[in-house]
Structure 1
Amino acid sequence: MRFLLFFVGVILLSSCAVFQPKNFNSEALNEELLTLNREPITLSEILKNNKGKKTFIQIFATYCPVSQDSFDDVIAFQKENSEINYIFLSVDHSYHDWKRGLEDIKVKGNHYYIPKKGKGQLGEFLKLKTIPRFLILDKNGKILLYKSSSVSDRLKNKID
């Protein structure tokens, strides 16, 4: 009887798949973001502009203390991995709050604002509930790491 329960438990646990997409869906790719100059751009265009190199993406908010604390780790990561692209997507309350908040952020990379604040198609695709959030993409824009809440060893291993 114990063996049967153990066997059923193993089968149930091993059949639980974790959502780990390899590509963004078309809705997420086509969501409109804003550049620093308040020009519209889609995630698809951003990824096309960064094709050919691995890409590090951080989703954050300038007002979030946890996001602010994570930037020290990102800066250290950037020093060790200067050959990759860095994209920062903000879910701030407003475009103006985001622009003001960027004055205190020292990370280097391309910054974009998500007007739907993580509640649009991109946020839905990412199942965005907490920030900061980190993703790693390969040279072709395929997702190597879908979800990390810190600059962890798991994230660092996806760069190598």
Structure 2
Amino acid sequence: MKKLILLSLILTSCGMFHPTNFDKPSLNEKVLSVKRDSIRFSEILKNNSSEKTLIHIYASYCPFSQNSLKEIAHFQKENKEINYVFLSVDHSYFDWKRGLENLPVKGNHYYLPTKGKGVLGRFLKLKEIPRFLVLNKEKEIKIFKSSKVSKIKESLQ
């Protein structure tokens, strides 16, 4: 009986963490713009008034991220009404800036100087890239964790 109770506790405690809103510390995380201006993550979200926002977390040196960026470029052609925010976790600001030259996507680009290990990265439980989030007009998180563009397409239909 004790084993059965222990097993049920373990299985129920492994539920997926899926917040619907960003917490205050993650919203206060500072990122860098292309011009190297520091901006809070909350300001990025406020500046976007689209019905839906897709956030793509990537690194320009990562082959998986490069493939996902190509997929997003095709996705953008069919979904122009969506606001696109790209957050890079490249090794340095300069690596990110060089990588921007070859990106096939359009949108708002920012660099995470904490490389995903800061408050925002911990909130997102960021362990792998690429990573996608989808937000609605109220900036509520509708998709918290997806690594495939196909999953994003399914959820937006």
State the TM-score, normalized to the length of structure 2.
0.90
> Contact 1:31 / 1:121 at 8 angstroms: preserved in 2?
yes
1:85-125 Cα distance to aligned partner (Å, 9 max, x none):
00000001111110001101110100000000000000000
Change over 3 Å in CA distance of 1:15–1:120 after alignment to 2: closer
| 1:143 aligned residue | 141
Aligned pairs for 1:92-111 within 5 A: 92-111=90-109
Aligned pairs for 1:1-160 within 5 A: 13=11, 16-152=14-150, 154-160=151-157
Change over 3 Å in CA distance of 1:12–1:31 after alignment to 2: closer
Could you tell me how far apart the structure 2 residues matched to 1:23 and 1:157 are?
A: 21
Q: Which amino acid aligns with 2:86?
A: F
Query: Looking at CA atoms only, which structure, 1 or 2, has the larger radius of gyration?
Result: 1
1:70-93 Cα distance to aligned partner (Å, 9 max, x none):
112101111111111000000011
Q: Secondary structure at the match of 2:39?
A: strand
> Contact 1:56 / 1:134 at 8 angstroms: preserved in 2?
yes
1:101-159 Cα distance to aligned partner (Å, 9 max, x none):
1101110100000000000000000100110000100011000000011102x322332
Q: Secondary structure at the match of 1:111?
A: strand
Q: Secondary structure at the match of 2:98?
A: helix
Could you tell me how far apart the structure 2 residues matched to 1:144 and 1:96 are?
A: 32
> Contact 2:50 / 2:81 at 8 angstroms: preserved in 1?
no
Could you tell me how far apart the structure 1 residues matched to 2:108 and 2:141 are?
A: 18
Q: Which amino acid aligns with 1:75?
A: A
Provide the aligned length of Structure 1 versus Structure 2: 155
Could you tell me how far apart the structure 1 residues matched to 2:130 and 2:66 are?
A: 9
- Report how far residue 14 of structure 1 moved: 6.0
For structure 2, the 5+ residue unaligned runs are none
Once superposed, what is the RMSD of the aligned Cα atoms?
1.9
For structure 1, the 5+ residue unaligned runs are none
Could you tell me how far apart the structure 2 residues matched to 1:87 and 1:157 are?
A: 19
> Contact 2:50 / 2:83 at 8 angstroms: preserved in 1?
no
State the TM-score, normalized to the length of structure 1.
0.89
